[in-house]
Structure 1
Amino acid sequence: MSISASQVKELRERTGAGMMECKSVLTEAGGDMDTAIELLRKKGLAKADKKAGRVAAEGVISVHVVEDGRSGAMVEVNCETDFVAKNEDFQGFAQDVAKLAASHEADSVDALLGLGIQNGTVEEVRRGLISKLGENINVRRFVRYARQDAGAIASYVHGGRIGVLVDVAGTASNLGELARDVAMHVAASRPEFVRAEDVPAERVGKEKEILVAQAADSGKPAEIVEKMISGRLNKMLAEISLLSQPFVKNPDQTVADLQKSFGDAQVQRFTRFEVGEGIEKAEGVSFAEEVMAQVRG
Structure 2
Amino acid sequence: MAITAADVSKLRKMTGAGMMDCKKALQEAGGDFDKAVEVIRKKGMAVASKRADREASEGVVLSKVSSDARKGALLVLNCETDFVAKNDSFVALAQSILDLALEKGANTLDEVKALELDGVPVKDVITEQIGVIGEKLELAAFEVIEAESVISYIHPGNKLATIVGFNKANIENQMAKDVAMQVAAMAPVAVDRDSVPQDIVEKELEIGKEMARNEGKPEEMLDRIAQGRLGKFFKENTLLEQAFVKDNKMSIKQYLQSADKELTVTGFKRFSLND
Q: TM-score, normalised by structure 2?
A: 0.91
Equivalent AA in structure 2 for residue 271 of structure 1: K
> Residues 233-281 of structure 1, C-alpha deviation per residue, up to 9 Å, x if partnerless?
211111111111111122121101111023122200001101165xxxx
1:67-106, aligned counterparts within 5 Å? 67-106=67-106
Which of 202, 205, 209 in structure 1 is aligned with 2:202?
205
Q: Quick one: which amino acid aligns to residue 90 of structure 1?
A: F
Q: Counterpart of 2:190?
A: 193
Q: Who is 2:141 aligned against? A: 141
1:41 aligns with 2:38: no
1:180 to 177, 181, 186: 177
How far apart, in 2, do the equivalents of 1:48 and 1:114 lie? 18
Deviation at 1:90, TM superposition (A): 0.8
Partner of 1:214: 211
The one-character-per-residue Cα deviations of 1:41-68 (angstroms, maximum 9, x if unpaired) are 1222212221122110011101121222
The residue type paired with residue 211 of structure 1 is G
What secondary structure sits across from 1:142 in the alignment? Answer: strand
Change (3 A) 1:223 1:29: closer
Deviation at 1:203, TM superposition (A): 2.8
Aligned residue type for 1:199: V
Aligned to 1:229: 226
TM-fit CA distance, 1:105: 3.8
RMSD (Å), alpha carbons: 2.1
| Equivalent residue number for residue 6 of structure 1 | 6
The match for 1:247 is: 244
Structure 2 CA distance, aligned partners of 1:83 and 1:240?
34
Whole-angstrom distance in 2 between the partners of 1:259 and 1:160: 27
Q: 1:236 to 1:276 in 2, by over 3 A?
A: closer
In structure 2, the gaps of 5 or more residues are: none
2:265 to 267, 273, 278: 267
Alpha carbons of structure 1 residues 260 and 131: separation in structure 2 relative to 1, 3 Å: same
Separation in structure 1 between the aligned mates of residue 140 and residue 223 of structure 2, nearest angstrom: 44
Name the amino acid aligned to 1:161: K
Equivalent residue letter for 1:153: V
SS at match of 1:180: helix
Is the Cα–Cα contact under 8 Å of residues 101 and 115 in structure 2 kept in the other structure?
A: no
Q: Which whole-Å CA distance do the structure 1 matches of 2:30 and 2:106 have between them?
A: 40
Q: Report if the CA contact (8 A) 1:153-1:176 is conserved.
A: no
Cα offset for 1:24?
2.1
Give the structure-1-normalised TM-score. Answer: 0.84
**Count of residue pairs the alignment pairs up:** 273
Structure-2 residue corresponding to 1:287: none
Q: Distance in 2 between matches of 1:136 and 1:14?
A: 21
**1:77-136 CA distance string (max 9 Å, x none):** 100010010011110111111112223343532321110113411112111211111100
Change (3 A) 1:40 1:259: same
Instruction: Tell me which stretches of 4 or more aligned residues in structure 1 moved more than 4 Å.
Output: 217-227
What residue identity is the alignment partner of 2:11? L
Identity over aligned residues, as a percent? 40
- List runs of 5+ in structure 1 lacking aligned partners: 278-297
